[in-house]
């Protein structure tokens, strides 16, 4: 059981690397800026939990700039861990379905908190914004599913 959970977490980390690579390629290709929503989410959650992010001004913003992506990594590893948990119970989906489930899980882990906190409303996103979110999450899901499948072949 523990082995499958570790494999899931590792697959989630690999998927997160793929998600970040696709996101950064999109930024480089289109010349678009990085999203500030991860930092905004960390700040809003910290405020709601009455947790102080130390520093003032630029120092505090720099901390938030580091914490936002770390939260994304935690989400990616966590979804991979959940995928490993499914595998523990022998509920491993076929690769294509697994890819879609893992990608949707990671996307929900990022979009739902943004929507719930009012930071972003996906209903208002245009096609370009959706593509910027869906494509990297599909890459995430593909790498998670392929990694887990490859781990079972070893």
DSSP letters spanning 90-120: T-PPPHHHHHHHHHHHHHHHHHHHHHHTTS-
- What pLDDT is recorded for position 62? 95
User: Global pTM?
Assistant: 0.93
Distance CA(41)–CA(144), nearest Å, equals 25
* Collapsed DSSP state (helix, strand, coil) of residue 35: coil
- What pLDDT is recorded for position 51? 95
Contact 16, 141 (CB under 8 A): no
Give the mean pLDDT of 115-143. Answer: 95
At 19-37, the pLDDT tens digits run: 999 999 999 999 999 999 9
First and final C-alpha spacing in the chain:
16
DSSP-derived secondary structure letter, 124: G
Q: Does residue 99 carry a pLDDT above 90?
A: yes
Distance CA(13)–CA(17), nearest Å, equals 6
How many angstroms separate the most distant Cα atoms in the chain? 51
């Amino acid at each position: 059981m523990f082995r499958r959970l570790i494999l899931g977490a590792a697959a989630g980390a690999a998927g997160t690397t793929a998600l970040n690579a696709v996101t950064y390629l999109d930024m480089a290709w289109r010349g678009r800026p990085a999203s500030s929503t991860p930092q905004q989410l960390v700040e809003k959650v910290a405020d709601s939990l009455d947790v102080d992010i130390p520093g003032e001004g630029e120092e505090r913003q720099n901390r938030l700039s580091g914490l936002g992506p770390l939260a994304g990594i935690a989400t990616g590893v966590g979804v991979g861990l959940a995928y490993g948990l499914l595998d523990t119970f022998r509920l491993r989906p076929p690769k294509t379905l697994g890819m879609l489930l893992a990608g949707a899980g990671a996307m929900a882990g990022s979009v739902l908190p943004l929507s719930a906190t009012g930071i972003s409303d996906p209903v208002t996103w245009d096609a370009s914004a959706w593509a910027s979110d869906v494509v990297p999450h599909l890459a995430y899901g593909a790498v998670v599913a392929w990694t887990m499948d490859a781990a079972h072949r070893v």
